[in-house]
Amino acid sequence: MHIVVLGMNHKTASVELRERVSLSQDALEQLLAELRDSRTVMESVVLSTCNRTELYALVNSIRAGQDYLLTRFTGMTCLDRSVVESSTYFIQGEQAVAHAMRVAAGLDSVVVGETQILGQMRNAFQTAFEAGNTGAMFNRLFREVIHVGKRAQSETTIGQSPVSVSYAAVQLANKFFGDMSGRKALVVGAGHMGELALQHFHALGFKQLFVANRTLARAQSVAQAVGATAIDLANVTDVLSDVDVVLSATGAPGYTIVAKDIAKALKARKHQPMVLLDIAVPRDMDPDIANLPGVYLYDVDDLDGVIEANIQERERQSVVVESMIRESVEAFSNWLTEQEVVPLIAALRAKGESIQQQVMESLARKLPNLTERERKVLNKHTMSIVNQLLRDPIQNMKELAMASGDAEYVSLFAQLFGVDEAAIASQSSMAARHLSAEATFVELFQRMRGEARRMTEDNRVLHPVLR
């Protein structure tokens, strides 16, 4: 069995091509069904986001697996196979495992360290699990993948430093005022940057938000998503005195906000401080505003330094995350190698027990007058001989296989001890069923724990009402 991944992301394909392989829920279910019915793919998980689509698969042949997955991709795009092949990447073995962990940890994202991808990876695995596309191998693998992603978020600061202009600007205001619960903010411009800034302000818990735009309908559309108040751009001066933070991102020619309007607002505010964030190019705010007392004006150049420092900090933290990934890849590889050796060990033990049982049956025929107690003593001591003879070889098998990471030793050991392939295959099947049952139990337990947590939260909310 081989772990492989065939994917397309922001590094290898244009947005137009990525859109062709971005999957709706129905298309995802259909693809999972096709993978589930394939004789080439044993287990599978499909990850589909705006920046990547990846097919993770456990296959019995690397070449056949690559060809099959590439055929699926080609069918999704309706393009020539050569075009799709040149825009995808194919990774196998430990590198595929490491890649999955890097994706979950945000190291392979457009913005290094972004945290949304971990939830998307978790949902991809959960969907595949519930559809019956995963088994013992991928249940274990993706638990490790998700665990690494969680560690990256909880044990490092890789996702905590803002690296977009709008986010950096909002965080700057947050640091200035501290508690946002009683503050008000105005966003001037309802384009992409303005909309993002409005969402960031909303996430910080501002008391009230305003959004102004030249087209009122657009402002209303953006405002509705976060419960903000939409106003016409011509009426911005009416609310200036009522807000603590103003962020402008129109990109219109000329100044949208001038010094005299801010001076008038300050007077009405009794000179309480204001933070003005101009992230537009060309600038929306008159530079003379910076000369007014109680005003703190920042433009894109001021934010660039913050963003660059945060990018460097994320890169430093990524080194720590890469170390976590190496540890997890090694642990998973050791587990994988151990799974290869376990069926041989079980088959070897079964052979030893069979020989011991044959000896006991022979003794029973040759010494028919043995008492029950004597038979038990003989059984115990002959079994002890078998266990002592097998103890060191079994330990050495484990250590050698783990140290080398090479499952080919299994075949060599089998030949040395005269264990046939049928016996190993039988034990492998039993081990797989055991692992699958164990994984299913773990998943069930996690769901029950999550449901219990939700019920506890519901009770906490309802208790005062009921009382």
Q: Which residues are annotated as a binding site for substrate?
A: 49-52, 109, 114-116, 120
Sorted by sequence, the CB contacts under 8 Å of residue 223 that are 6+ apart come out as 198, 209, 211, 229, 230
In this structure, the number of other CB atoms found within 10 A of the CB of residue 175 comes to 9
Q: CA dihedral defined by 161, 162, 163, 169, rounded to 10 degrees?
A: -150
Burial classification of residue 290, based on how many CB atoms lie within 10 Å of its CB (0-12 exposed, 13-18 middle, 19 or more buried): middle
CA–CA gap between residue 41 and residue 61 (Å, rounded): 9
The helix (run of H) or strand (run of E) holding residue 325 is helix 300-366
Q: What distance lies between CA 241 and its chain's CA centroid? A: 44
CA–CA gap between residue 224 and residue 378 (Å, rounded): 83
Q: Read out DSSP for 101-153?
A: HHHHTTTTSSSTT-SHHHHHHHHHHHHHHHHT---HHHHHHHHHHHHHHHHHH
Q: Summarize the annotated binding site as residue ranges.
A: 49-52, 109, 114-116, 120, 189-194
Residue written as token pair 């960031």: 200
Q: CA dihedral defined by 314, 319, 323, 326, rounded to 10 degrees?
A: 100
Do 77 and 90 form a contact (C-beta atoms < 8 A)?
no
Length of the chain in terms of residues written: 467
CA–CA gap between residue 198 and residue 212 (Å, rounded): 11
Q: Which of 15, 50, 268, 367 is catalytic?
A: 50
Q: Summarize the annotated binding site for NADP(+) as residue ranges.
A: 189-194
CA–CA gap between residue 76 and residue 91 (Å, rounded): 20
CA–CA gap between residue 350 and residue 55 (Å, rounded): 39
CA–CA gap between residue 414 and residue 274 (Å, rounded): 77
What is residue 50's three-state secondary structure?
Answer: coil
Amino acid letter at 152? A
CA–CA gap between residue 73 and residue 18 (Å, rounded): 11
50 is catalytic: yes
Q: Per DSSP, what are the bridge partners of residue 44?
A: 57
Picking from 152, 148, 128, the residue whose alpha carbon sits closest to that of residue 138 is: 128
Residues identified as active-site: 50
